[in-house]
Amino acid sequence: MRLRWRLGLLLTFPWAKVLLRLRVHGRSRLGGGPQILAANHVSNFDPLVVGWAAAREVHFLAKEELFLGPRLFAWLIRSWNAWPLRRGAADAGALKQCSWLLRRRQTLVLFPEGTRSKSGEMAPFRPGVGMLAIANHAPVIPTRIRGMDRSVVSYWVDRDFVRGGFRRRPRRPAAVEVFFGEPVDPAGFSRDRPGYEALTRTVEERVRELA
């Protein structure tokens, strides 16, 4: 782990414990890399939450619009391992970047639903996570974020959901919990579309079970 990440975790994790009342379960199931943390997605804050819970340097994809805004913000998220993703279509460049990271034994955070859930209910996972895992021989760690949609932090950062009536300031904010499940080994799945879909379904089912 680079020094920047060590210092960042050391300085910010106590704040996560206070603001989010963050609790982590199953961190010992994470390996030394390469690996994919496949999580449900309810808030713009989720990448930070998973990074704190994992307690290690991670890489994640972020919609490319974030890199086209204020230069300082774009520089900041790039500095903390965000990589642009073009939404609405298969982004070959993003997939290549993910494979490049996994070949270098990095930890990759993916949100296979493809977008945040307004209601907090999980949407079906897209098969890209299965393809990346099988093509790069990388285990997938089912990851469940619970309580984030009922936290005051989500009320602050997911303003589009607040304006749409999907998030309200909680009277009694929920504690945020992150659960890591048993790794899903890609070795037992075929390297084709049915194999990608089967692995993805397995991961999705295990994430749901973690709830």
Q: Is residue 80 part of a domain?
A: yes
Give the count of domains, the chain. Answer: 1
Q: Is 126 helix (H, G, I), strand (E, B) or coil?
A: coil
- pLDDT recorded at residue 3: 77
Q: Is residue 8 part of a domain?
A: no
User: Who's near 90: CB < 8 A, 6+ residues apart?
Assistant: 128
CATH number at residue 149: 3.40.1130.10
Q: Is residue 146 part of a domain?
A: yes
When comparing pLDDT for 142 and 9, which is higher?
142
Query: Span 84-104, mean pLDDT?
Result: 83
**Is the pLDDT confidence value at 142 over 90?**
yes
Q: 51-76 pLDDT, tens per residue? A: 999 999 999 988 888 787 778 878 88
Strand runs (DSSP E) across the chain, as ranges? 23-25, 35-39, 59-63, 82-85, 107-110, 140-146, 177-180
Q: Is residue 193 part of a domain?
A: yes
Give me the percent of the chain exceeding a pLDDT of 90.
68
Range of the domain at 199: 15-209
Q: Is 129 helix (H, G, I), strand (E, B) or coil?
A: helix
Query: Span 117-143, mean pLDDT?
Result: 95
Give 90's pLDDT tier (boundaries 50, 70, 90).
low
Q: Is residue 7 part of a domain?
A: no
Which residue is it, tokens 């997939």?
A: 95
What do you get for the CA distance between the two ends of the chain, in Å?
Answer: 30
- Return the structure tokens found at 60: 């994640």
Strands 35-39 and 107-110, by their bridges, are parallel
Q: Is residue 174 part of a domain?
A: yes
Q: Is residue 106 part of a domain?
A: yes
Q: Judge whether 121 and 49 are in contact, CB under 8 Å.
A: no
Q: Is residue 3 part of a domain?
A: no
Give me the percent of the chain exceeding a pLDDT of 70.
98
Q: Judge whether 37 and 108 are in contact, CB under 8 Å.
A: yes
Q: What is the Cα–Cα distance from 100 to 106, expressed in whole angstroms?
A: 9
For 15-30, give one letter per residue: b (16+ CB within 10 A) or e. Answer: ebeebbebebebeebb
